[in-house]
Amino acid sequence: MEHRQSAELYQRAAASTPGGVHSNTRARSPHPIYFERAEGPYLYDVDGNRYLDFVLGNGAIILGHGNPEVQQAVAAVIAQGLTTGSETRLAVEAAELLLQQVPTAEMVRFANSGTEAVMHALELARSATGRRRVAKVEGAYHGWDSQMYVSAWPDLGLAGPSEAPQPVPAHKGLDADVARSTIILPFNDVAATRRIVEEHADELAAVIVEPVMMDIGYVEATREYIHELRRITKDHGIVFIFDELLTGFRVAPGGAQSHYGVTPDLSTFGKAIANGYAVAAVAGRREIMDEARPGGSCAWVGTFNGHAVSMAAVGATLRQFEGSGVWRALQERMTYLEQRFARRAKERGVDVVLRGRGGNFHWYFTAESVQDYRSAATSSTERYQQFAKTAAERGIHLAPGTLSHHSLTVAHEQEHLDAFVDCL
């Protein structure tokens, strides 16, 4: 493929923007690709090249790029001139729709990004409990706040033993004291997690978990692990938070909490709830959410919260989720992809396994059973990069990192999945 205009844009961008990108995950070698439009399962770059997209805004696109219903709803709001700083009927309707589809939650409030939503959820937990510290799982990414961007893809040489992982700040820009206050839990290790939580129970405001670890690909929690976390947090008065920014409306209708049959105290949602428009949400128990009421003990402000364009996108997206047809379509595609990929791997004699559900998926070049970050890290970087190189040459857009995550939309057809599998 010819990338002359992308190369030229990179030279311009690098002079005004660090690395020529506005998120480091978009960096590519020798330069990023600059896109100008999208439709259905496809992206189109400034050089006119078409790419079959499996990145999909880190899972934010669930209905396909440029979904007509969402675009029409957004266009109608733009035509009215209403943007931000006001409450709207659209926000009321969006909140009602989300709560209808997440029956475990009683109240919801909107924010603008996943990082913001997680920060708000932690503040609510501190306000409700009077405690300060939080616990998270090793390898999980919950945004770039100093208390959360800890032990996300950590250097295992610094991370300590698997049964007692140590906090590893992600970079030097974090508040090191805050970062090192975070308690790290080993994913899917019930006994070690129980021991660590009980040891710190009196100082823990919250335990936050991705019920499926998506930022290391696709690694599901065992039911025993999730239910034990729910039991022990309830016993000790710790706020239990599900980070459903990636799993929400993909793992199951109603979120991963519906799939696991667990009711967390708070949950964060984002990504797919607006088919790519900028929005996130915190939902959960009324008595905890009510901490953020005007005059309450926990502040929650933001000029762009409930932005009219985003609220229109949320409403138009969530209405299409009603009846679970979207989820069934995604799961049918996911089942086909898993089976077809497994056959191809067997034919090629390659140690690789693809896992996924509801359109979220990833694949690991390892013979080891992947149960957590440390086992996921055994996946061959060399084999992954070779696969990604082949895909790029065939016009397939994948994430560059070995431990990334990928997605499908209802706009992907069987022929698109076959093209992906044929890269193996």
Same domain, 87 and 226: yes
The model's pLDDT over 203-228, given as tens digits with 9 standing for 90+, comes to 999 999 999 999 999 999 999 999 99
Tell me what the mean pLDDT of segment 268-284 comes to: 97
Q: What's the half-sphere exposure (Cβ side, CA atoms, 13 Å) at 347?
A: 9
Give the other-Cβ count within 10 Å of 348's Cβ.
9
Could you tell me the CATH number of the domain that includes residue 98? 3.40.640.10
Same domain, 44 and 94: no
Which of the listed residues 297, 322, 347 is the one where a domain comes to its end? 322
Catalytic residue among 243, 260, 277, 364: 243
Confidence at residue 324, expressed as pLDDT on a 0 to 100 scale: 79
Nearest to 162 by CA among 404, 403, 377: 377
pLDDT band at 16; cut points 50, 70, 90: very high
Residue 14 has pLDDT above 90, yes or no: yes
Same domain, 10 and 125: no
The whole domain housing 149 covers: 68-322
Same domain, 219 and 317: yes
Same domain, 40 and 117: no
Q: Using an 8 Å Cβ cutoff, are 164 and 132 in contact?
A: no
The model's pLDDT over 237-263, given as tens digits with 9 standing for 90+, comes to 999 999 999 999 999 999 999 999 999
Tell me if residue 271 is catalytic.
yes
Same domain, 107 and 160: yes
Which of the listed residues 322, 347, 370 is the one where a domain comes to its end? 322
Tell me what the mean pLDDT of segment 182-196 comes to: 98
Same domain, 284 and 313: yes
Same domain, 10 and 96: no
Catalytic residue among 10, 53, 260, 271: 271
Same domain, 236 and 98: yes
Confidence at residue 323, expressed as pLDDT on a 0 to 100 scale: 86
Confidence at residue 50, expressed as pLDDT on a 0 to 100 scale: 98
3-state secondary structure of 342: helix
pLDDT band at 47; cut points 50, 70, 90: very high
Number of domains observed in the structure of the chain: 2
Tell me if residue 260 is catalytic.
no
Residue 337 has pLDDT above 90, yes or no: yes
Same domain, 404 and 344: yes
User: Residue 291 is encoded by which pair of tokens?
Assistant: 């901490």
Same domain, 286 and 389: no
Tell me if residue 372 is catalytic.
no
The model's pLDDT over 156-179, given as tens digits with 9 standing for 90+, comes to 999 999 999 999 999 999 999 999
Same domain, 313 and 404: no
Which of the listed residues 322, 352, 382 is the one where a domain comes to its end? 322
Catalytic residue among 10, 141, 225, 277: 141
Count of H helices and E strands in the chain?
15, 16
Could you tell me the CATH number of the domain that includes residue 45? 3.90.1150.10
